[in-house]
Amino acid sequence: MNEQIAIIYWKDACKNGPDSVHLSDVKDLGLMDLISVGLVLYEDDNCITLGTDMSEQYKNVRDVNVYPKSGISKIIKRSITELTATNPVKKEMNP
């Protein structure tokens, strides 16, 4: 499996609460700029699917989110192999 990590920059809807808004202020409301990071689980022309935690042994993943590419402004991807080759991960957490 060619495992990759992705950082995506995207826009999401913004709920402005239950309070009333004057019509002249509506133009100032907007989308939220967000950044998400995760393991790339799936990608096609329309979306990218990221997960947070993955068990290779059990072939399952947690915290899976699907992002429409129509709201994504930038995707940065790196292979896990590339990242660990240049910055080796310590085997022991408490040497």
Cα dihedral sign, 37-41-42-43: positive
Residue-level pLDDT at 87: 60
Residue 35 lies in a domain: yes
Distance CA 13, CA 94 (A): 43
Q: How many domains does one find in the chain? A: 1
The reply to whether 93 falls in a domain is no
Q: Is residue 8 part of a domain?
A: yes
**pTM score:** 0.76
| Residue range 21-49, pLDDT digits in tens | 888 988 888 899 999 999 999 999 999 99
Domain assignment of residue 22, yes or no: no
CATH number of the domain that 47 lies in?
2.30.30
Query: What is the arithmetic mean of pLDDT over 12-18?
Result: 81
- Amino acid at the residue 59: K
Backbone angles phi, psi at 62, to 5 degrees: -115, 160
Residue 62, in any domain of the structure: yes
pLDDT in tens, 56-89: 888 899 999 999 999 999 999 999 887 777 666 6
Residue 91 has pLDDT above 70, yes or no: no
What residue numbers bound the domain in which 40 lies?
A: 4-16+30-86
Does some domain include residue 91?
no
Burial class of residue 81 in the structure, from the number of CB atoms within 10 Å of its CB (0-12 exposed, 13-18 middle, 19+ buried): exposed
In a domain, 92, yes or no: no
Does residue 42 contact residue 48 with C-beta atoms inside 8 Å? Answer: yes
